[in-house]
Every structure is written in structure tokens, then in C-alpha cells.
Amino acid sequence: MTGLSSKAEEEFSGLLPADASASAKLFFEQFQRAGLPGRRVESWHYSDLRTRLRVVPPVAHAPDEAARGVARHKLGASERLRLVTIDGFFAPELSDDFSGVAGIEISSVGEAEFFGGAADPMLDLNAAFSRGGFLLEIGVGARVEPVIEIVALAGAETDRSRFGRNLIRLGAGARAAILETRDEGFAGFGDSALFIELGEDSQLDYACRCRETAGVEVQTLNVMLAARAKLRAVSLLAQTPFLRRQFFVSLGGEGAELQLSGAAILGRNDHADLTMVVHHNAPACVSRETFKYVLGDHANGVFQGKIIVPPHAQKTDGKMLCRGLLLSDDAAMSAKPELEIFADDVACGHGAAVTKLDAQQLFYLETRGVPHIEAEKILIDAFAADVFDTLASEGLRDVLRQDLSDLLGEKEPAS
């Protein structure tokens, strides 16, 4: 590292409580050794967190009545079964009662209890600071039909640092569909971690919609799939002042399958970095990474994908695709797909392309009476919406489609 610590790093050091556990201190030391990642760290080259994070807001406390009031107001009513976090803390008072739902166990977590995943300074920082997440377990063989929604809300109305850390675990053969709604608002700093562990033959549909993310936010997902487990995961990002969403996936058992997709609908000065490292750690695993970026105004989209295939992972099938749609000359897209292949009998590939709206298609729609703005929306929707098709859960697909259409409804005319 640079040797010099940034002002933000020093502030973190001051914020770590004196009575923090030994393990929290260890993680913090690990973080300190690496420092806040920035341009000079290869995997963070396009997202200069070190420069962006100037001031560290106070660390969020467990929610009090006032915080619950703020969150409750935003939460509104829903048909779905919900699990709510406030400033990263599991809030049973706002969550539905799951005790009657067969196959689901939910428990609170104190300090970080589950580890693993990648060596990453922001994950270490999270482990040092996180308090009060949840553990959601779907039991062996359980088939949970209704969509379970995790809602992440803010309680504080001023800038806070949030360190949510949660675990979703599916037992062997279990099936579930989970929707995560992240809506903590623009204020503050976020460094969250979500662990997903899929037992043998289990299947999870997981959709995450990031609505308003913090001024500076990092989301880390650590995913482990056992043999023949299937994960179909879609992220829909919008209104991200500075977001890094990173996935560390281990396909750890033979025949596991990953569908990792996403769409980022960006405008203003939004910066969204989707980075994924997919380890094919067993033979005959399949992975598909497909990401679409719609970039208006001065938006900046980043895609970094790496598929790693060690020598023993024969019959690996991995394909990565990233596409950008530039709506403005001031928007930018950086894409870095990589394959690290050490096995010989594999089928792997990647592609990246950046395009603009097709003037002829727009004209065709307009000659049918569809106004220019509407015609743009139709084409943008068509560009992005197909990433939702990887989800098996129709309920989740519908939610994301509606969200996308709402997002485009709010979209300013392209200049």
C-alpha cells in the first residue's frame, strides 16, 4: 500500500469501540494493513474508494424507537413476508412473524459470526464493525412457495456508517425465492455483507433491487454452492451515487449452476461497479454472468468479471457477457472480463459491447405514433429486461419488470 493512511482510515480507527472483541480487532488490523482500496489496487482500479470516502460518518447504533418510526414510515404495507433491517440491524419488531412458516428459521446475530469468502479489505472492515444481523435458514428439503422479502432501511435521518451482515442458508434440496430491497437512502456510508450458502441440490432465486444507495456504498456477496445447487441471482441497480457491488462465488460441488445477472439503470453522476469473481472449484459446474448497463447523463458503469477454473474443474461451462447502452456522450462504461483457466476440457467465453439506441428502430416506432421519449423507453426496457428471464420465480420477475418500468417512467429525456 501507500504507507500513508488516509484521513478516512484514521477515522475508522477512532470509531472502533475500545471494548471491541479480539476478533473484531483482528479484522480491523487486517483492513488497516490493506487500507481503503483505490485506483492503485488492480481489482478496485475503476472505483477509487480511497478518494471518494473522505469523511466517515458516525457508526449507526441499534435502532431506537425514533429509528423504528422512520423505517416504519418508509416500509408501508405489503402482501409479502418481510424481514426488515434498520441501519444494518435486524428489526424483528418491523418484520413479519415467520414462526408459522414451515421450513424457515430466523435468528439474530451479534457480532460477526460467519466468515469465509474472499480476502477483501471492505469485507474485513465489515467484519470489524458489524453488529446485529440475521441468519435466515431454509431447512433441508423445505420448499418455501411465497417470496420472502428482505428490506434494508435507514433509521437515522442523518449520515451514518452501516455495516449490515447477514446470512442466507438453504439446506440440502431446499427451494426458495428471496427478494432483497435495499432502500437505505443516499445519506452516509455503507459496507454490507451478505453470505449465501446453498446445500446440495438446493435452488435459490434471489433478486436484489438497489434503489437509493448511500453516498458511498460497498456491498459484498459471498456465495457458496454445494453439488448440483442452483442459484439464479439478479440485481437491479438505480440511483447509485457511488456503489460497488461485488460477488465472490465458489461453485464448490460438482454440477453446481450459477446464473448471475443484473441491470444498472444509471443517470446523473451515478457510479455503479459490478465486480464478480467466480471460482469453478469443482468439475462440471455451469456459470452465466450477464450484465446490462443503461448509462445516461454523466453516469459511469463498471463491469469486472473473472471466471477462475483450476485444473481439476474439468467440463466447466462458463460464459460472461456485459453490454452497455450509452444514452449520453458524457456517460462512460468500463468493462474488464477475464478468464483464468487451468483446466483443458472447458467451454468458457466472454464478451463485452457498448452500443447506442438504434436510430432506425426509434424512427420506426415513432412513425407508428409513439413519441420519441416513449420510443426510447420501449427500447431501453427491451435492452435491459431480458436479464430478469434467468429467474425461475415468476413473482420475482414481475417485481423486477415493474420496477424497471417505473424507473424508466421517471427517466429524464435523453439529451
Partner 1 sequence: MIEIENLHVAVAGKKILDGLTLKVEDGQVAAIMGPNGSGKSTLSYVVAGRADYEVLDGSIRLDGVDILEKSPAERAAMGLFLVFQYPLEIPGVATMTFLKAALNAQRKARGEAELPTIEFMKQVRAAAAKLNISQDMLKRPVNVGFSGGEKKRMEILQMALLEPRFSILDEMDSGLDIDALKTCAEGVNALRGDGRSFLVITHYQRLLNFIPPDVVHVMSRGKIVKSGGPELALALEASGYAEYAEGAAA
Q: Which residues bind partner 1 (CB under 8 A)?
A: 359-361, 363-372, 374-375, 378-379, 381-383, 385-386
Q: What share of the chain is helix, strand, coil (3-state, %, to 5)?
A: 25, 40, 40
* Cβ atoms of 302 and 272 closer than 8 Å: yes
45-51 contacts, C-beta under 8 A, 24 or more apart: 46/273, 46/302, 46/304, 46/334, 46/336, 47/242, 47/244, 47/271, 47/273, 47/302, 49/122, 49/216, 49/218, 49/244, 50/6, 50/8
User: What's the closest the beta carbon of residue 183 comes to partner 1, in angstroms?
Assistant: 28
User: What's the closest the beta carbon of residue 377 comes to partner 1, in angstroms?
Assistant: 9
- Beta pairing class for 175-183 and 286-295: unpaired
Q: What is the SS3 assignment for 396?
A: helix
User: What's the closest the beta carbon of residue 85 comes to partner 1, in angstroms?
Assistant: 35
The amino acid sitting at 157 is: E
User: What's the closest the beta carbon of residue 370 comes to partner 1, in angstroms?
Assistant: 5
User: What's the closest the beta carbon of residue 359 comes to partner 1, in angstroms?
Assistant: 7
- Report the residue number, 51 or 361, with the smaller CB distance to partner 1: 361
User: What's the closest the beta carbon of residue 372 comes to partner 1, in angstroms?
Assistant: 6
* Cβ atoms of 166 and 195 closer than 8 Å: yes
Which of 244-264 are b and which e, b meaning 16 or more Cβ less than 10 Å from the residue's Cβ?
Answer: bbbbbbbbbbbbbbbbbbbbb
- Report the residue number, 374 or 394, with the smaller CB distance to partner 1: 374
**Bridge partners for 266 per DSSP:** 295
Give the up-direction half-sphere exposure of residue 186: CA atoms within 13 A in the CB hemisphere: 6
- Report the residue number, 295 or 313, with the smaller CB distance to partner 1: 295
User: What's the closest the beta carbon of residue 369 comes to partner 1, in angstroms?
Assistant: 4
- Report the residue number, 151 or 295, with the smaller CB distance to partner 1: 295
In terms of Cα–Cα distance, which of 164, 160, 169 is closest to 55?
Answer: 160
**Bridge partners for 366 per DSSP:** none
In terms of Cα–Cα distance, which of 122, 205, 180 is closest to 392?
Answer: 205
Ramachandran class of 185: left when φ > 0, alpha when ψ lies in -120 to 50, beta otherwise = left
User: What's the closest the beta carbon of residue 358 comes to partner 1, in angstroms?
Assistant: 8
User: What's the closest the beta carbon of residue 307 comes to partner 1, in angstroms?
Assistant: 26
Cα distance between the two ends of the chain? 42
